[in-house]
Structure 1
Amino acid sequence: MQKTTLYIVRHGQTEWNVQKKMQGHRDSALTELGESQAQWLYESLNNVEFDGIYTSSSLRAVRTAEIISGKQKVAIIRSDQLREINLGEWEGRIQEDIEKKDPERFKSFWKTPHLFKLNSGESFVEVQNRVLPELKDIISNHIGRNILIVTHTVVVKILMAYFEERSLSDIWNPPYIHPTCLCKVVIEEDKPFICLHGDISHYKQQITESY
């Protein structure tokens, strides 16, 4: 019986995470803590040999993937399909300011994500439509193998909702997706088994605030 194991990871903490800015397709560098978070996960997964490593093409995810993969010789494949939701005019803006100036859509983002839409950028449905075919392609190319996927909060939520058969309207249900948290999914006979969801047991210091 072939067993395919997915290790799905959010990128490490970034400068804009600390500043509470929306990132989306725009980027900011990992903080010192963000690099440490990736290093902690590398140490936790040090005994896992990856047969495929895929990352969002955003540099915060690429850097996280580089740290986690360590000295493994598997090529890191960058994918635009694994990028965060495009937040258009919200990108680079502080969440509190968005909430004040665009309260209805900000509320929709968190409370009715299946209905969310900006004047520019993507809806959650559009992200789902680009992410899930990519996931299925990755799995089909590595059946019976270990796969690392490094991506972003919304994408992690959509991937895990797919495995849970959960609707987009409930996308923000717990657990919280902390930086470099680990979701581990084992697929046997086309059936997914969720072993870890939002796991941060590799953290070496207490979380004082969520980003």
Structure 2
Amino acid sequence: MSSSIIHSTAPATRLVLLRHGQTDWNVAGRFQGQLDVGLNDVGRAQAEAAATAVQALAPDVVYSSNLSRALDTARLVTRTTGLEVNADERLQEINVGTWGGLTGTEMADREPGFAAALRNGTDFRRSPQGETADEVGTRMRLALTEIVGRHEGSTILVVSHGLAIRMACGYLLGWDFAHTWQLGPMGNCGWSVLVRTAERPWRLEAYNRVADVG
């Protein structure tokens, strides 16, 4: 009796995860978290530079964090495509609670345990009111899984935030915090690409690609 291998003809599902452009608080090294800090001129130029590369990936649908630095990046990147940007608060950055607006130097003085945790690759709650990176990874994985469920076989552009995207990549790949933290930070308007097919789980196709602003 002969046997044959049946190959699925279902199209791949692709997630393009794009970080927002630069803000003045990024330049100053201030914790933004879920505070609504807007893009600066460099950030808008970064979004315009990323547009060509991201549009070449032919997104079918666009989702974004509802914070203005992400929403404005999404609108700049897709303004010539006619695609609607769907805002989703689940795609926000890590909640840093009362740390919002503080610089890294101020945090090192106030919370020496946090600086040590970053050096050692240990998770740490961002103020008593904030989140851990693990909680962000779980939040992002659940949100993206639900979004993907609506758009199987499509290319989905998601505009979010640096730590949120970093954790989302690892957690969709099935990694734990320790392994995910080994990924480097995302640059402003850097993008990562994950692909899934019927035969294969999520795989990381690109990480932290950044367009030349010129």
TM-score w.r.t. the length of structure 2 is: 0.88
| Larger displacement relative to structure 2 (97-106 or 56-65) | 97-106
1:83 shift after superposition: 0.4
Q: Answer yes or no: is 1:193 the counterpart of 2:203.
A: yes
Please, what is the CA RMSD of the aligned residues?
1.8
Which residue of 2 is the match for residue 87 of structure 1?
Answer: 96
Which residue of 1 is the match for residue 80 of structure 2?
Answer: 71
Structure 1 stretches of 4+ with a deviation exceeding 4 A read none
Partners of 2:172 and 2:159 in 1: CA distance: 17
| Larger displacement relative to structure 2 (117-126 or 155-164) | 117-126
Which residue of 2 is the match for residue 209 of structure 1?
Answer: none
Which residue of 1 is the match for residue 6 of structure 2?
Answer: none
Bigger radius of gyration among the two: 2
1:110 shift after superposition: 5.4
Which residue of 2 is the match for residue 55 of structure 1?
Answer: 64
Amino-acid identity (%): 24
1:43 shift after superposition: 1.6
1:115 shift after superposition: 4.5
2:137 and 2:171 in contact (8 A); partners too: no
Which residue of 2 is the match for residue 100 of structure 1?
Answer: 109
Q: Answer yes or no: is 1:181 the counterpart of 2:181.
A: no
Indicate how the Cα distance of structure 1 residues 49 and 14 shifts in structure 2: closer, same or farther if over 3 A, else same: same
| Larger displacement relative to structure 2 (13-22 or 111-120) | 111-120
Q: Any stretches of 5+ residues in structure 1 without a counterpart? A: 206-211
Which residue of 1 is the match for residue 43 of structure 2?
Answer: 34
Among 133, 144, 151, the alignment partner of 1:124 is 133
Partner amino acid, structure 1, of 2:91: L
CA distances 1:82-104 after superposition (whole Å, capped 9, x unpaired): 00010011101111111112111
Indicate how the Cα distance of structure 1 residues 113 and 9 shifts in structure 2: closer, same or farther if over 3 A, else same: farther
Indicate how the Cα distance of structure 1 residues 134 and 36 shifts in structure 2: closer, same or farther if over 3 A, else same: same
Partners of 2:140 and 2:195 in 1: CA distance: 19
Pairing 1:160-175 to 2, within 5 Å after superposition: 160-175=169-184
Question: Matched residue of 2:108: which SS?
Answer: helix
2:19 and 2:190 in contact (8 A); partners too: yes
Partners of 2:80 and 2:212 in 1: CA distance: 21
TM-score w.r.t. the length of structure 1 is: 0.89
1:22 and 1:94 in contact (8 A); partners too: yes
Q: Any stretches of 5+ residues in structure 2 without a counterpart? A: 1-8
1:113 shift after superposition: 4.1
- The number of aligned residues is 204
Question: Matched residue of 1:114: which SS?
Answer: coil
Q: Answer yes or no: is 1:136 the counterpart of 2:150.
A: no
